[in-house]
Amino acid sequence: MPVGIIGHYRCGEHNMGEHHPENGKRLTAISDQLIRSGLDYVVRQFDSKPIDKSLLALAHTQEHIDFVFDNAPSEGEENFIVGEDSVMNDKTLTSIMYSAGAAVDAVDLVMDGTLSAAFCTTRPPGHHAEHDKGMGFCFFNNVAVAAAYAKQKYGLKRVAIVDFDVHHGNGTEDIITNHFNATPEDDKGYLFCSSYQYPLYPFEIQESDIPPIINTPLAATTKGEQFREKLTAHWLPALHKFKPELILISAGFDAHIEDEMSHVSLTEADYRWITDELKIIADEYGEGRIVSLLEGGYAPSALGRSVVAHVNGLIGN
Ligand SMILES: [Zn+2]
């Protein structure tokens, strides 16, 4: 079965201001590298549809959904800031709808067997968005919506979310624990594994090895070898024990050595390594099903090359 790339050009139109690192050129850099690598001929490419707004309530309060929609600027209106740093321009709401739409479309395409795995060029990203608020360039939590959607529509019993963005997926943890009410005694069918530089934004999270939350902090000096050792020790045994029927990935590439957002020094080979490890688990327990969503990654060339390594891993090239 083929691997798919799902997104929409309108996800590139959301603009948080001149020189902002989370900009539409990130998506251009990804598509340039997919073309350069020849992968654009290997994968199937899909335009996402705008998400059905009601699905956002799978992960968010109606108050937060209404707050974002009611304050979204119309054409020509001034920007509106959600939280401290998530800026909406007059194109943002459309980008949000196509970004979250890509996540649920990808779940459908993987669950109905059209694709074995999918990578979504989701922008704006989502993993910092909590149950009742947006933050950290995120408005709605694409991966949490996709996880709940997969369970609701397809009756999956065990969905794992793994997050190798260099920032902790605080929003995803918040939704799993405070909205899905998953606890160590009753995981509600979710497992969340997050690796992140610590201390670094959003700062407050501490280590956990108790499912459903596996938090794996990384020292600023971390290179690929230590990254692989940590994930081998903390993530892989928990994932094998959990036996996920679907793996969702919050795929941020801002731990790359060329990315100035952090001090962690990963390379494309490390992203290929973790993708290979996750594919082994998906093949063993979940018929190979992986849906991967773009989160961070702010050095355009490194981002594009890392996505190529990641997609090659999903394909098994
Ligand atoms: Zn990040």
Q: What's the pLDDT tens digit per position in 255-288?
A: 999 999 999 999 999 999 999 999 999 999 999 9
Does position 127 have pLDDT exceeding 80, yes or no?
yes
Whether this prediction's pTM lies above 0.95 is answered by yes
| Ligand 1 center to 16 CA (angstroms) | 16
Can you tell me the distance from the alpha carbon of 206 to that of 139, in angstroms, rounded to the nearest whole number?
24
CA of 2 to the centre of ligand 1 (A): 28
Please give the distance, rounded to the nearest whole angstrom, from the Cα atom of residue 297 to the centre of ligand 1. Answer: 7
| Spatial distance between the Cα atoms of 142 and 292, rounded to a whole number of angstroms | 11
* Centre of ligand 1 from the C-alpha of residue 172, in Å: 13
> Distance, CA 82 to ligand 1 centroid (Å)?
18
Q: How far is the CA of 155 from the centre of ligand 1 (A)?
A: 31
Ligand 1 centroid from CA 127, angstroms: 9
Q: What is the reported pLDDT for 114?
A: 98
Query: How remote is the CA of residue 101 from the centroid of ligand 1, in Å?
Result: 21
pLDDT at res. 205: 72
What's the chain's Rg over C-alpha atoms? 18
One-letter amino acid of 238 = A
For 78-98, write each residue's pLDDT tens digit: 999 999 899 999 999 999 999
> What distance in angstroms lies between residue 252's CA and the mean position of ligand 1's atoms?
6
CA atoms of 276 and 282, how far apart (whole Å): 10
How far is the centre of ligand 1, averaged over its atoms, from the C-alpha of 168 (Å)? Answer: 8
Confidence of residue 204 (pLDDT cuts 50, 70, 90): confident
Q: Is the pLDDT of residue 235 over 90?
A: yes
Delimit the domains of the chain by residue range. 3-315
Task: Write down the pLDDT at residue 206.
Answer: 80
CATH (one of 3.40.800.20, 3.10.20.340, 3.90.79.10, 3.40.50.1000) for 3-315: 3.40.800.20
- Compute the distance from residue 253 Cα to the ligand 1 centre, in Å: 7
User: Which one, of 175, 79, 177, 161, lies nearest residue 132 by Cα?
Assistant: 175
* pLDDT, position 144: 98
Q: Which residues surround ligand 1, an ion (CB under 5 A)?
A: 165, 167, 252, 254, 296
Quote the ligand 1 centre to 38 CA distance (angstroms): 27
pLDDT of residue 317: 85
CA of 171 to the centre of ligand 1 (A): 12
* Range list of β-strands (E), the chain: 3-7, 44-47, 80-82, 86-88, 117-120, 159-163, 190-197, 208-210, 213-218, 246-251, 290-294
In the reported structure, the alpha carbon of residue 114 is separated from the centroid of ligand 1 by a whole-number distance in angstroms of 30
- pLDDT at res. 58: 98
Please say if the pLDDT value at position 6 is more than 80: yes
pLDDT above 80 for 302: yes
Average pLDDT on 34-40 reads 97
- How many angstroms separate the alpha carbon of residue 261 from the centre of ligand 1? 8
Centre of ligand 1 to C-alpha 281, Å, is 24
- pLDDT of 13 reads 97
C-alpha 296 to ligand 1 mean position (Å): 4
Question: What is the 276 CA–ligand 1 centroid distance (Å)?
Answer: 21
